[in-house]
Amino acid sequence: MIRVNEHYSKLKASYLFADIAKRVAAWSQANPEKKLIRMGIGDVTEPLPPACIAAFHAGVDELARRETFKGYGPEQGYAFLREAIAQGDFQSRGAKVDPDEIFVSDSSKCDVGNIQEIFANDIRVAIPDPVYPVYVDSNVMAGRTGASENDRYAGLVYLESTHANGYVPALPTAPVDLIYLCFPNNPTGATATHAQLKVWVDYARANKALIVFDAAYVAYLRDPQLPQSIYEIAGARECAIEFRSFSKTAGFTGVRCAFIVVPKDLKVWDAAGREQSVHALWNRRHSTKFNGVSYPVQKAAAAVYTPDGQTQVRALTDFYLGNAKLVRAEFARRGLACVGGENSPYIWVEVKRDSWEFFDTLLNQAGVVCTPGAGFGRCGQGYVRFSAFNSRANVEEALGRIATLL
């Protein structure tokens, strides 16, 4: 008899964005003549940078000619992209990352969901609250938790990110083995300083723990004092894996390209206490279950690191940050505290009431969609997340409607 993975039954009934989609669909059906403005989900709206488009086209043309045709590529990614990433994102900032420590994939969502597979099932996992839901759900599916009660899974250690700690969680009081961190943060938009990340790196090294560092929004950092990579922190090569994506950097949400950095210094221990290489384990997993990102997509991603690509990516992210500034200013004018939006495309607004109630009011009375903070965890109650990914005209119209409503 084929049997189900029982751990799936512990997952909360619906994924946050499915829940939102249901309410939005009901509103749209009831208000067919009204225009809906989506400022909830973090999907980009602007076209790809021209340098990426040109490289994408050139990559497709190569596939059209026998002399330049390519079949399967290396599972880990083509050398031209891995070298461009290592130099452009890390070595240029003084962080030691070698091209063969980079694994190119089609998605950060898959990478952050899959990474837990190479670790034991009885490890203790620390996850921020509020959080990008994939970190939690992938560990629930793997059976590392008990049931969920009051928005908390038994067995997980929750790292509370609140106004009081500036949305950068403190070290856990109980020992943990796998730690998820995300800066600039989704959903809060908060950032972490060198000193704050060093606390986590020192903890992980002292406790033989491993940090999963999700830097999906690194392209939005503008404060030159802030670290862009966890490898700018001494010792991080021994305790951290970094995740990056071209989705929000270069508008690749529909194109799909991402990568993770697995330093060769990173160790994991077996039941007998013997060291094993995380790099070797991930390489085994990646090359068994993944067959590489399409060649034209990798060409398009590599174009991000050309001088034109860098200028265009900066302009693209500046544009969204311009939207974020308008959103922040509007809520500040209404006396609602905000975090994020300065080094991040997300603005986390303290709405001082139930976050689903605020979501429903905004949807029903203004036709504007935000994301209720409670959907990201217990600490998100009383907050909503606004995304800056939209056209300027839509952002201005949405803010006008919000001003009228509030």
Q: Which residues contact 280 (CB under 8 A, 6 or more apart)?
A: none
Per DSSP (E only), the strands in 76-151 are: 102-105, 125-129, 148-149
Cα separation, 380 vs 70, in Å, equals: 47
Q: How many CB atoms lie within 10 A of CB 352?
A: 11
According to DSSP, the residues that pair with 210 across neighbouring strands are: 178
By C-beta, is 258 or 398 nearer to ligand PLP?
A: 258
| Distance from chain centroid for Cα 348 | 15
The H-or-E segment that residue 287 falls in is helix 278-289
Tell me whether residue 369 or residue 402 sits nearer to ligand PLP (CB atom).
Answer: 369
CB of 253 to ligand PLP, least distance (A): 5
Which residue, 246 or 305, is less far from ligand PLP as judged by CB? 246
- Contact between 350 and 383 (Cβ < 8 Å): yes
- The smaller minimum CB distance to ligand PLP, of residues 135 and 330, is found at 135
Shortest distance, CB of residue 331 to ligand PLP, whole angstroms? 21
Q: Tell the smallest beta-carbon distance from residue 403 to ligand PLP (Å).
A: 28
Q: Which is nearer to ligand PLP, 244 or 328 (CB)?
A: 244
Nearer to ligand PLP, 56 or 367 (CB): 56
Q: Which helix (H) or strand (E) holds 192?
A: none
CB 86 within 8 A of CB 102: yes
Closest by CA to 213, choosing from 80, 347, 112, is 112
Minimum distance, C-beta of residue 108 to ligand PLP, in the bound complex (Å): 3
Provide the minimum distance between the beta carbon of 183 and ligand PLP in the complex, in angstroms, as a whole number. 10
- In whole angstroms, how close is the CB of 34 to ligand PLP at the nearest point? 27
- The smaller minimum CB distance to ligand PLP, of residues 188 and 394, is found at 188
Cβ distance to ligand PLP smaller for residue 59 or 189: 189
- Judged by the rule CB under 6 A, the positions of this chain that interact with ligand PLP are 42, 107-109, 112, 132, 182, 186, 214, 216, 245, 247, 253, 258
CB of residue 268 to ligand PLP, shortest distance in Å: 22
- For every residue of 130-179, DSSP letters joined together read S--HHHHHHHHHTT----EETTEETTEEEEE--GGGTT-PPPPSS--SEE
Give the side-chain half-sphere CA count within 13 A for 117. 14
Query: Cβ 365 to ligand PLP, closest distance in Å?
Result: 27
Question: Is-contact 163 350, C-beta < 8 A?
Answer: yes
* 319 phi/psi in degrees, rounded to 5: -60, -50
